[in-house]
Amino acid sequence: MAASKRKGMFKKILIGLLVVFGVMQFFRIDKTNPKVDKAKDFLTITQPPADIEKMIRSACYDCHSNETVYPWYSNVAPVSWFLSHHIEEGREHLNFSVWGDYKEGKANHKLHECEEEVEEGKMPLNSYTWTHGDAKLSDQQKEKLGEWFESQMTESEESRDY
């Protein structure tokens, strides 16, 4: 008798969870990317070598630009909510699509942060590379990309004002 009660309770819990999961699917994220002015885009301005551009596009642009390519699982809540929040935070911290709007000091600061984050293996995030294998950078790629970011920093009075 106790086993049948547990089975009934388990069934009710499972049905409840399925209903909650179903209702969650009605709360969709906005996957509209803001417009991109190519003249302000980081890659247009810096014109990196092809291998560097490929690394930046695959490892950085989904979260740090207005050119996010949303994967299929971005249609499934609550994963979609996590992705949306992560992209919003990424763009807020660094947005390569508006690079031309950054003052020299801010741009240098961002380049320095990019160098550090990549070389220390903090970026791209492991949670991103698990589902985007092409974004996983080797130690050699991290070093090369970090050095390239560093090479883009400028030295002027204005750059020290940030």
pLDDT single digits (tens) 103-154: 999 999 999 999 999 999 999 999 899 988 999 999 999 999 999 999 999 8
Reported as a single tens digit per residue, the pLDDT across 21-42 is 888 888 888 999 999 999 999 9
Q: Which two tokens stand for residue 79?
A: 């994963």
In-domain check, residue 26:
no
In-domain check, residue 25:
no
Query: In what helix (H) or strand (E) does residue 18 lie, and over which residues does it extend?
Result: helix 2-24
How many helices and strands, by DSSP H and E, does the chain display? 7, 0
In-domain check, residue 3:
no
pLDDT band at 160 (very low <50, low <70, confident <90, very high): low
First to last CA, the chain: 72
In-domain check, residue 8:
no
Count of structural domains within the chain: 1
For residue 1, the model assigns a pLDDT of: 59
Alpha carbons 111 and 95: distance in angstroms, whole number: 12
Count Cβ atoms within 10 A of the Cβ of residue 81 and give its class: 0-12 exposed, 13-18 middle, 19 or more buried: middle
List for the chain the helix, strand, coil content (%; round to 5). 65, 0, 35
Does position 96 have pLDDT exceeding 70, yes or no? yes
In-domain check, residue 2:
no
Quick one: average pLDDT of 85-102? 96
Label each residue of 22-86 as H, E or C: HHHCCCCCCCCCCCCCHHHCHHHHHCCCHHHHHHHHHHCCCCCCCCCCCCHHHHCCCHHHHHHHH
Does position 157 have pLDDT exceeding 50, yes or no? no
In-domain check, residue 53:
yes
Quick one: average pLDDT of 79-87? 91
Q: Which range of residues forms the domain containing residue 60?
A: 31-161
pLDDT band at 92 (very low <50, low <70, confident <90, very high): very high
